[in-house]
Structure 1
Amino acid sequence: FAALSYCWGTGSQTQLRSHTFETLTQHLELSDLPQTIKDAIIVTRSLSIPYLWVDALCIIQDDQEDKLREIGFMARIYSMAYVTILASSAADAADGFLQRCPTDRSPSVQIPFRISLDQFGSATARIGDFSGHAARQDNPLSQRAWALQEQMMANRLLLYTPSTLEWRCAAGVMSLDQALSMDWKYNPMPMLVSQLAESQEEALEQWLWIVNDYSRRAMAKTTDKLPAIAALAETFASVLGEYHAGIWQHGFVQQLAWKISEWIRGRRSDVYRAPSWSWASIDGDVDFGSTDKTCCTLVSVESVPKNEHVPYGEVAQGATTL
């Protein structure tokens, strides 16, 4: 099956709900679906993939128990999908993403070269943006908090932007224009979990980078702060161990050195979602400071999940002693 990562937007769309469950599971009219989902179906069929997973149609949206259960499955859903389709350019489900790309995407130059003593040729070089243009932080999907783990949990990504199409997997990254860097540190497109470091120190560095990116994204429900990154936390736990409301017990003191960007005014959540020592307790762009000088040590830390079936999701309480 394929999975779709997209922006819902503000418009209404067909959703799986308690009162539509029987109707939608028996018959689904293609004409009733928003354009982005229609386009994803076209892509899925063209790849000869029989099934497409879409959150709006595969999770009962007004059933909290079903939502919690599916959130617990997110890591498996996106990691087991054959490919995840990213509708990067669509700000709303009604927008669609299969618009025709411009033929002249970037300027090109002719470079002459010598083949032999008496033979000459020329090559066309396109002047592209090697910063990963499809993954820049100016596309609508890169502003959506949930989309970060949907993108990172995938084995393969197919990104549709207004100007090009990109493919990403563990073997490499390719666009219609060029090959892109695979180094997650210098590529603004988030790494895939398949690139998860094996050492705790490197994995923790990756996690801090993820939180930095994630905290700059928007979400409709502020209580989703921890659930929307739970699949990534579940995966990182295999290397980093115990997890407490967004912070790992390994390197705990180092992670307490977070701050809100000086250019952004942070706002404490009106509804409790994490202890005050966690970055997840506040809305704002999170940066991590240097902790070369350790002024304290961890004595104990604990957190209690709201739902035992979603151990990396919302927390009921947390406490630490330093």
Structure 2
Amino acid sequence: MAPVLCSKCSTLRFYDLFNDDLVFHPDISSLVQSARKCEACNLWWTQLQRSSTKEDIAACLAKKLPSAAPKSSNNGDFKIYLRGECHPANTASVTDQIWLSCGVLVSAVGHDAPTKLQTNLAVFADPATPAGALFAGRYSTAAHHPEYHATFAKNTLAACRKGHDVCNKARPPGARQMPTRVIDVGDPTLPAAKRVTRIVLTKDLKQPQPYTALSYCWGTGTQAMLNDKNFADFTNVLPEAKLSKAHTEALDLTRLLGIRYVWIDALCIIQGNQKDWESESKRMASVYGNAELTIIAGRSADSGRGFLTNNYLATKKLPNPVPLKVGPHPHTGEGPDLGTVYLAIQRNKAVGPVDMRGWCFQEALLSNRALVFGEDQVFYQCRHHTRYEDGCVDLDVSKREQSLTSVNPGTKAEVLRRWYQMLISFTPRALTEPHDIFACVVSVALVTHGVLKARYLAGLWECDMPRGLLWKSRWSYVSSRHFQPIQKPLAAPFTKRKGEIPGKPVVRAPSWSWAHVTGQVFWDTNPRIESKWIDPKNVFVRPRDSKGLWTTQPGVGNPDALYMPALELQLFGKVVEVRCTNVLKKKTPLTPEGTMMESIKPAPSAKLPPSAKPAPAPSGPAKPSYIALGYFDFPSDPKPANIWCLLVVAHEGLLLTRDGKGKFHRVGWFAVQDAKQFETVKETAVDLV
């Protein structure tokens, strides 16, 4: 059914909007009135409400100057203007779009002519139409070209294979390795009715073959899974009717791409077989790094619901796109009428629920090429660029190429910096099984170890222990308004581990490891101040072992370790017993609340020479001398019975508590307030667990 349009919208042409500003409505009130019947005006009114404050809209409705508008705004003009923007080069970082401005010509909006209200709508065209040759944006939803994702995937993958040297060199065909097992989606030369889907052992294939890999959320919908009992049956026939919807969609998409094999964890790792799970978990760098394409089911939180269909309009209760006539070529004004394009509310570039799952983080990072079924749209990302369904192309590959999985990971200093940056992004993600924390980054740890050649100790690198130890809750370092406090890991609902109770706190790492907590942790990775972590004059902790080992515990340090619940560090350092005072450093928008710490046994005064006279005693009550400003990892917990400050570097250290066996446990971190109190403290042995 054709949309209902007002007389203005039914005659608009993009050509007229591209070449000049056009008066759309005399004021906001006129737009609102028209939006009650016209679907195009309703689209504009919806977008305006999404991008502007209620106060500013109310001011313009009353023809008053909004609070956001500078006094230099044209107070008497409240007309609604439109102007189009088109990027025929197909390499723009923004969509083809139409801008709306209140009170100022769109072409004049800027520092000298600020608008009262401004917003925009995206423009897209159908494929294989005259307009489609000019406008890069496409649109694929349940109601509009629902199968376009396959065409988009084929075209972007083919272009990448043909023209992206950096992507091809990252995984040269001669070096391709396949996973232990893959799913054969059927011989493409046979009729569909005669094709057999089954699990195959790749060692039985004559040579490595291209395959896709699926990255997705299991949720509660994962049905048939590979196990020891059905292994033989699944190698004969894989019953597609019993698979999760996400699994069958991945199989179908793989067939559409002309690829015969696909890897899906639930069907290619023997579930319930701990030995196989541990072996395969360490192979993720190879599994995703060597895949021809990773299919990321970003928009789906449950494999039972699938991911191919895009229902974001209904989910977000947004109006449908509306048609707009194009007219002749907007840049030249020549040629025939290009037909019709569509106006739509701008789509976001968010991945969706998958972006908050711990396992999926490593999978995306390790992939060379990925087709992402995002929250609002599909996009293709590789080492060369990211291309979105809405026509945007992000050519900034610096983040990708400066990652730990780039072709050239960099120097040791750069790799360490990238390791911390990776953890800052990884730690906010959720894990159903808390003990998977190290398994989720094991492949990245193996890549990092290839450069550092250092021991891996519960998520920290022995060659950079002072900095590694000083992780902080992002909440305690920046602002509680934008970040959540870290928490204690909780046992999985289905846990069968001895001594664990579902939903209750568990220990999965030593207290000094970032993996001891759940939630976003932070390190300062500014390269300009890295010297403070490595300058011997600035570092106040050192290993007790004569060979420079931070722990002499046997059998530790392997980067492929999947479980490290306990590990003791033996070191020398300056520790001072302190007490919490009632004095709090009040939080600001940029700094949360901290607790001032006062030493229980102040450092002794330096001895004066015989000839020197002691300074006169100050009059009045003595002012307290605070040694540190402390931030507890779990501020809502009761304060420990004893608290110690371990100076790590000149300006920061760890808050510790001591157990009955003399072992120290981390409980937080502190910023030095009075460095002189540490000067006369003698170095002592510290056992940190």
TM-score range, shorter chain: 0.7 to 0.9
Rg: which structure is higher? 2
Cα distance change, pair 307–114 in 1 and its aligned pair in 2 (3 A): closer
**Contact 1:268/1:282 (8 A) holds in 2:** yes
Unpaired segments of 5 or more residues in structure 2?
Answer: 1-210, 314-319, 490-504, 533-537, 544-548, 573-689
CA deviations on 1:67-87 (whole Å, 9 max, x unpaired) are 111112111111111111000
**Contact 1:306/1:316 (8 A) holds in 2:** no
**Contact 1:304/1:318 (8 A) holds in 2:** no
Equivalent pairs, count:
312
The residue identity in structure 2 corresponding to 1:265 is P
Match of 2:422 in 1: 210
Pairing of 1:135-214 with structure 2 (within 5 A): 135=351, 139-177=352-390, 178-183=392-397, 185=399, 193-194=405-406, 197-214=409-426
Distance 1:40 1:163 in 2: 19
Percent of paired sites with the same residue: 28
The residue identity in structure 1 corresponding to 2:431 is M
**Contact 1:197/1:203 (8 A) holds in 2:** yes
CA deviations on 1:105-125 (whole Å, 9 max, x unpaired) are 8999x9x9765xx9799x999
Identify which of 501, 508, 518 aligns with 1:283.
Answer: 518
Relative to the length of structure 1, the TM-score reads 0.83
Identify which of 551, 562, 566 aligns with 1:313.
Answer: 562
The residue identity in structure 2 corresponding to 1:267 is Q
- Does 30-39 or 271-280 show the bigger shift? 271-280
Match of 1:30 in 2: 240
Distance 2:322 2:550 in 1: 53
Identify which of 297, 322, 329 aligns with 1:87.
Answer: 297
Distance 1:217 1:195 in 2: 26
SS of the residue corresponding to residue 509 of structure 2 reads: coil
Distance 1:210 1:271 in 2: 24
Let me know the Cα RMSD of the aligned residues: 3.6
Match of 2:486 in 1: 266
Match of 1:296 in 2: 540
**Contact 2:384/2:395 (8 A) holds in 1:** no
SS of the residue corresponding to residue 301 of structure 1 reads: coil
Q: CA deviation at 1:184?
A: 5.1
Distance 1:307 1:19 in 2: 36
Distance 2:557 2:449 in 1: 18
Cα distance change, pair 170–106 in 1 and its aligned pair in 2 (3 A): farther
Pairing of 1:102-117 with structure 2 (within 5 A): none
Unpaired segments of 5 or more residues in structure 1?
Answer: none
Match of 1:235 in 2: 447
**Contact 1:4/1:53 (8 A) holds in 2:** yes
Cα distance change, pair 128–192 in 1 and its aligned pair in 2 (3 A): farther
Distance 2:343 2:268 in 1: 42
SS of the residue corresponding to residue 213 of structure 2 reads: strand
Distance 1:99 1:204 in 2: 40
Identify which of 229, 249, 260 aligns with 1:19.
Answer: 229
**Contact 2:246/2:306 (8 A) holds in 1:** yes
- Does 170-179 or 83-92 show the bigger shift? 170-179
**Contact 1:234/1:312 (8 A) holds in 2:** no
